[in-house]
Structures are given as structure tokens and as C-alpha cells.
Structure 1
Amino acid sequence: MMRSRRVFVEGLRIEAAIGIYDHEHGRTQPLIIDAVIDLDRHEIHGLKDTLNYELVGRIAREFLAKGHIRLVETLAEDMAAALMELPHVQKVELSIAKPEALSDADRAGVTVVYAH
């Protein structure tokens, strides 16, 4: 028996004015966003009945358009909370990586999980 549907976006690349260090101000840097969104079980007849993948990028860009963000955690939490407000959403697992954060690592970042 199906209990939920899972919509996902992997590897969404976006440029962001983000970071707490002086060298991170006045420039952008890449972020990589992964989102897994569980929807409740309901009938789907069209796009209005599900979650459009494009919303993940749109929500990210809306928060980033407000200006410099100090912490990746802030962006992740704000995005997850916004996604949780959408119809049929039961759970959001959102990861944001900063590939340039550490010179000796592929990526560093944060994952947040929100659920009803």
C-alpha cells in the first residue's frame, strides 16, 4: 500500500551571496541543493495535484534575492519551512552544500529535515 509520494531534486546549482567570512562578502559562490519531499497520498489528475520540481529553485532564488545570507543553515531552514507550507507536503529533507567551503573536501554543508 502506498503511503506517500516522493518528489526529489538533486544537484540544483545556484549562485548565492552567502557566508560569514569577510572573503565571502561582495561576491557569489556556488551552492548545490538536494531536496526530497514526501507528499501525502491523494489522487493526481494534473500538475496542480503534485509538487512542481521548479518550486525548489524558485523558493531558493526568492530567499537569495533578499540579500546576503550569513549561514547555509538559515537558507536550508527557511526553504524547508516554505516547502512544508505547500499543499500535500508531509516531509522535507533538504541539503545545501558549499563546494568551495573547504579546500580539502568535495563539499561541506547542512541537511535539515522537517515533518508534520
Structure 2
Amino acid sequence: MPTRRIIFNRLALDARIGILEHERRATQPLHIDAEIDVDIQRQVDDHDIHTVLDYRQIREAIVEECTQAHVNLIETLTEQVADRLMRDFSEIRAVRIRISKPMAFSDCAAVGVETFITRSPS
């Protein structure tokens, strides 16, 4: 089945993440990059948003998953976001999520973790 890729580039938000004491007391900025492969199940109708997966809904799910509760490890958060997208959107075939902490170190732009998962063929 053909696929279409939806891309989020550096979605910026503040989240409660980290295992260190100062990270537990305050939010910190995160950058999220995502590539979402979607099965093309029907022809696109330029006048009907329902003929495509509305990326506003994907963004909303990513933001909600990243901001709903404190998470200790960035590895955990990337897996939670990927799992949520696969669970909530049946037309998604594969998800690559990269979450970065731009304030983690002063000597690099960011440090992050990437997770890639695919749906098992039916």
C-alpha cells in the first residue's frame, strides 16, 4: 500500500522531564521531530480534510502526551509518544519520533533520543 509522510520539524514545548532534582522542580524546553508514515487509503479530495489524516490531531496528541505528567527519562517519553500515535491513529504505518533537550548541555545544541516503530502487517 502506498504511504504519505507527515513531518513535524522542531515542535517546541515545555515539559516536566528529567531525573535530576532541578529537573523535577520546573519545566524545560523540548524539541520534537516526527516522521509519520500514513497508509494512503483513498484519493485526496482538496475540499475535504477527512480524506487525509489531519496533522492538527497528531500535533495535539504529541503535545498532550509530552505535557500531561512528569517523565523521568527522555527514552520513556519517546516511546510513550510513538505508542500513543500508533494506538490513536489506525492509518499510521510507522512513526519516527526524536525528542531533544536543548538546554541539557551548554556545549551542544541539544541532546535527544529517537524511537522508530512500525505496525505489524495485518
Alignment TM-score > 0.5, same fold:
yes
Alignment counterpart, residue 114 of structure 1, candidates 109, 113, 117 = 117
Q: 1:49 to 1:73 in 2, by over 3 A?
A: farther
TM-score (normalised: structure 1): 0.88
Hey, what does 1:102 align to over in structure 2? 105
Hey, what does 2:57 align to over in structure 1? 55
1:4-36 deviation digits (Å, cap 9, x = unpaired): 111111110000011011111110110000110
Q: 1:26 to 1:59 in 2, by over 3 A?
A: same
* Structure 2 unmatched runs, 5+: none
C-alpha RMSD over aligned residues: 1.7
1:90 aligned onto 2:93: yes
Hey, what does 1:38 align to over in structure 2? 37
Is contact 1:39–1:90 with CA below 8 Å preserved after alignment?
yes
Distance (Å, rounded) in 2 between the aligned partners of 1:113 and 1:89: 13
Shift of 1:65: 4.1
* Identical aligned residues as a percent: 36
TM-score (normalised: structure 2): 0.84
Is contact 1:9–1:53 with CA below 8 Å preserved after alignment?
no
1:68 aligned onto 2:70: yes
What is the count of residue pairs matched by the alignment? 115
Shift of 1:79: 0.8
